[in-house]
């Protein structure tokens, strides 16, 4: 139950938050792409140690399409407050600030116009981000930890059922300008427990999510499923023992340039006291893609 409480804690964010930043800008001293970090190979490494990944927990990093701005959640070690952090590049140098108190888990849409926050969201404006808004029903009636959208606007999201602790992933398309009633995906995705944190490829050719299954490595593992020619989803493929370990791995997403997978891992144990953001080459996406 501790693992479950941790996941829900990220989702159960206050709706009353300010749109502006709440701390001064801090220069990280780094320049270049990816916050000045040396990219990883096929073995995951913590992202930006001391800048992003620390001895506390950090969670859910997401980039804007131009890769010059990113957001993640952290627990402030001094105040014990959950915060939404912003990283951005200006004049080649990267800066960091506290943007707001914790919201839902941020996921930037493919066009960069929306910051999904579970059943809440913000819209990009000329002045930055709008105030937090709530999705209309039926989305407002679901308990949603993470929402991701394709380039065509199809929404994929997890849902929490208080009665049986299942997290079926659902989707909703835009049809003739109207949002369709959300539907649960099939057994290829919704098998196991704690089926969470979907990330949909912009072209909807693959879906990445985490789930706890008997065939996995222990706690929740990260899987990928590919859309088949008939439009159905193929059997989910475990990303293997370089990415998945006996502890909790979750909340994965691919950078807008398609080069790297970012995900979260419990470090040392499954007590959620030290959760880091890891990154790894996304070459596995094509390596695992069915050839037929």
pLDDT in tens, 129-168: 999 999 999 999 999 999 999 999 999 999 876 655 567 8
Report the chain's mean pLDDT, rounded to a whole number: 88
Give the CATH number of the domain where residue 241 resides: 2.120.10
- Count how many domains the chain has: 1
Supply the pTM of this predicted model: 0.90
pLDDT in tens, 58-108: 999 999 999 999 999 999 888 888 999 999 998 889 999 999 988 789 999
In a domain, residue 30? The reply is no
Beta strand ranges found along 114-231 (DSSP E): 114-117, 120-125, 128-129, 133-134, 147-149, 155-158, 169-172, 174-175, 178-179, 183-184, 193-200, 206-212, 221-226
Question: Which has the closest alpha carbon to 140: 182, 199, 186, 83?
Answer: 182
In a domain, residue 67? The reply is yes
CA distance 164 to 201: 29
Residue 220 CB: number of other CB atoms within 10 A?
29
Residue 24 pLDDT exceeds 50: no
Answer whether 285's CB lies under 8 Å from 240's CB. Answer: no
The boundaries of the domain holding residue 284 are: 2-14+40-288
In a domain, residue 35? The reply is no
């Amino acid at each position: 139950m501790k693992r479950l409480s941790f996941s829900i804690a990220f989702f159960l964010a206050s709706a009353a938050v300010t749109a502006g930043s709440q701390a001064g800008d801090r220069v990280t001293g780094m320049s270049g792409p990816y916050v000045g970090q040396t990219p990883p190979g096929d073995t995951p490494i913590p992202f930006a140690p001391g800048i992003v990944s620390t001895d506390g927990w950090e969670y859910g990093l997401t980039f804007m399409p131009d890769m010059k701005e990113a957001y993640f959640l952290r627990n402030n070690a001094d105040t014990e407050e959950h915060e939404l952090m912003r990283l951005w590049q200006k004049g080649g140098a990267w800066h960091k600030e506290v943007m707001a108190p914790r919201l839902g888990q941020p996921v930037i849409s493919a066009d960069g116009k929306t910051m999904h926050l579970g059943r809440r969201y913000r819209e990009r404006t000329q002045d930055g981000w709008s105030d937090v808004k709530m999705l209309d029903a039926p989305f407002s009636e679901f308990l949603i930890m993470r929402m991701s959208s394709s380039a065509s606007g199809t929404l994929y999201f997890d849902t929490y059922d208080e009665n049986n602790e299942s997290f079926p992933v659902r989707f909703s398309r835009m049809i003739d300008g109207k949002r369709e009633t959300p539907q649960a995906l099939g057994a290829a995705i919704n098998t196991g427990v704690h089926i969470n944190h979907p990330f949909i490829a912009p072209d909807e050719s693959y879906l990445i999510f985490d789930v706890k299954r008997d065939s996995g490595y222990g706690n929740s593992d990260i899987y990928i499923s590919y859309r088949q020619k008939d439009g159905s989803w193929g059997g989910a493929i475990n990303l293997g023992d370089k990415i998945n370990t006996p502890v909790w791995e979750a909340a994965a997403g691919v950078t807008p340039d398609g080069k790297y997978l970012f995900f979260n891992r419990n470090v040392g144990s499954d007590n959620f006291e030290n959760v880091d953001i890891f990154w790894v080459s996304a070459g596995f996406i094509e390596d695992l893609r069915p050839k037929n």
